[in-house]
Amino acid sequence: MQILASILAIFVYGMIAATLGTILPDLSSRLGLAPRQSGMIALAQAVGLMIASLLIGPLMDKQGEKLGLLVGLVLAVAALLALPRSRSFAAVAVFLFILGLGGGSIVTGGNALASGVSGAYRATTLNLVNLFFGLGGLVTPFISANLLSRNLARLCYVIAGIAALAVGISIVTPMPGPNGASSFTLAQVGPVLGRPMLFLLALLLFLYVACEVGIWNWLAQHLIAQGIDESRALNILSLGFAFGLLAGRVVVSRVLLSVPDLTVLLACSIGMSFTTYLSLRAKRVATAGISVFLAGLVMAPVFPTTLAVVSSAFPRMASTALGIVIASGWLGLAVSSRIIGAIAGGDAKRLRKALMIIPAFSVLMILVNIAVRFIR
């Protein structure tokens, strides 16, 4: 039941993560939002994600994972029910901020729950659980376009209904509470923050999320600038990259049974540096599709496997450490597109140069992986 609760929570967050991109065209049209306002809405959600990830970890170390999951899911339901009734930019920003708070709590709580019950197979379990994040991200735009006629209200209510189901499952599922040494106390925070490994893992997740978000937000535009028509560019992104992420988590769940998690992370970082560079150099549909799929394949294990390393390295304060590292990942989400956009300016020809930050960050991930091995 605990794994089911974790899977359903992560699936809900996958739907939430895809919601803004799915509903933003409708919101922009209905409320007359300028691009700058749309960017501020996305930033509001990212700030909510970071704040929740930092605060919910200590709360779960003190009260257990159930409270963290319930707080996140209830906040998500409230925001999703209110969002369709928004009549101004300010209201949308507030509700997206609340949705970010809910999302950050769900991700931290869901991964902490899965990590706690999986023991020796922690990395494998976390990769399989996070497979449902990708499924949630795929389902959201599909049902919006094909079943809900791109109706903002209906989409929000459907996701709210699934989140409410997750609330019910979480309530009836027995979950471990804090016990003895693992419960949160202020005296234990110092040793956690005093370990360089925590900040190296936080940096690793920051770099990774910045790369993934850079691909999601900018790759299609880059491919179009290379002469690939828009529909094919979007299919390369949604089918090639998304399915690469899904396939990668399935494959690596078996690999991690026999290969150490740090070795997998190092191999993935090396693979990212090559595949993302090739993706940016591709000008033909077939070459772009293959390289983007391979990029998704090698990137897939990084997020959940990093969380597994964190949980193993900080068993006494696992939720607090997870929250700090996940918050660092959300910081990568918040700044990635701003960095790429600032380098590219308004010139599509400079976009490739700007996107070279992705393979560059991948090389930095290799160095961080090596550093983690020396100080673990």
- Nearest Cα residue to 18 out of 113, 119, 138: 138
pLDDT band of residue 182 (cuts 50, 70, 90) is very low
Q: What does the block give as tokens for 202?
A: 């936080």
CATH fold match for the domains 1-182 and 185-376:
yes
Q: What pLDDT does residue 264 have?
A: 93
Q: What does the block give as tokens for 242?
A: 């998304």
3-state secondary structure of 247: helix
CB 185 within 8 A of CB 13: no
Q: What angle separates helix 122-146 from helix 89-118, to the nearest 10 degrees?
A: 150
Q: What angle separates helix 242-255 from helix 122-146, to the nearest 10 degrees?
A: 160
Domain 1-182 sits in CATH at 1.20.1250.20
CB 344 within 8 A of CB 351: yes
* Tens-place pLDDT, residues 262-283: 999 999 999 999 999 999 988 8
When pLDDT is averaged across residues 139-143 and rounded to a whole number, the result is: 77
CB 126 within 8 A of CB 305: yes
Architecture, CATH, for domain 185-376: Up-down Bundle (1.20)
**DSSP string across 197-226:** HHHHHHHHHHHHHHHHHHHHHHHHHHHHHT
Cα 243 to Cα 121, 131, 205, 247: the distances in Å are 24, 10, 21, 6
pTM across the whole model: 0.80
Q: What does the block give as tokens for 322?
A: 């997870």
* Tens-place pLDDT, residues 307-351: 989 888 887 777 788 888 998 998 988 888 778 877 877 666 677
CB 334 within 8 A of CB 47: yes
Q: What are the structural domain ranges in the chain?
A: 1-182, 185-376
Dist. CA 104–CA 92, nearest whole Å: 18
